[in-house]
Amino acid sequence: MDEVLFRRIQSTAHGIRKKCLDVALAAGARATHFGGGVSIVDVLSTLYFAVMNYDVNKPTWERRDRFILSKGHGVLGYYVTLAAAGFLSDEELSTFEQDGTFLPGHPIINKNKGIEFTNGSLGMGLAVGIGNAIAAKKKGFDYRTYVLLGDGECNEGSVWEAAMAAAHYRLDNLIAIIDRNKYQLGGANSDIMNLGDLRSKFDSFGWHALEIDGHDITAIYTALNEDSLGKPKAIIANTTKGKGFSFSEKGNEWHHAVLTHKLYDLAVAEIGEKENANNIQ
Strand stretches in the chain, DSSP E? 66-69, 145-150, 174-180, 183-184, 187-188, 208-213, 233-238
Is residue 236 within a helix (H) or strand (E), and if so which, with residue range? strand 233-238
* Contact call for residues 219 and 213 (beta carbons, < 8 A): yes
Q: What tens digit of pLDDT does each residue of 11-69 get?
A: 999 999 999 999 999 998 787 999 999 999 999 999 999 999 999 999 999 999 999 99
* Contact call for residues 189 and 153 (beta carbons, < 8 A): no
Q: What is the pLDDT of residue 281?
A: 47
Q: What tens digit of pLDDT does each residue of 140-158 get?
A: 999 999 999 999 999 999 9
What single letter denotes the amino acid at residue 89?
S
Domain boundaries, the chain: 3-278
Phi and psi at residue 26, to the nearest 5°: -65, -25
Q: What is the pLDDT of residue 235?
A: 98
Distances (CA, A) of 16 to 37, 66, 76, 182, 231: 11, 21, 10, 22, 32
State the Cα torsion 159-176-122-92 to the nearest 10°. -160
Q: Is 89 helix (H, G, I), strand (E, B) or coil?
A: coil
State the Cα torsion 67-119-45-190 to the nearest 10°. -120
**By percentage, how much of the chain surpasses pLDDT 70?**
98
Q: Is 106 helix (H, G, I), strand (E, B) or coil?
A: coil
Residues recorded for the chain = 281
Strands 208-213 and 187-188: unpaired
CATH class of 3-278: alpha beta
Whole-prediction pTM value? 0.95
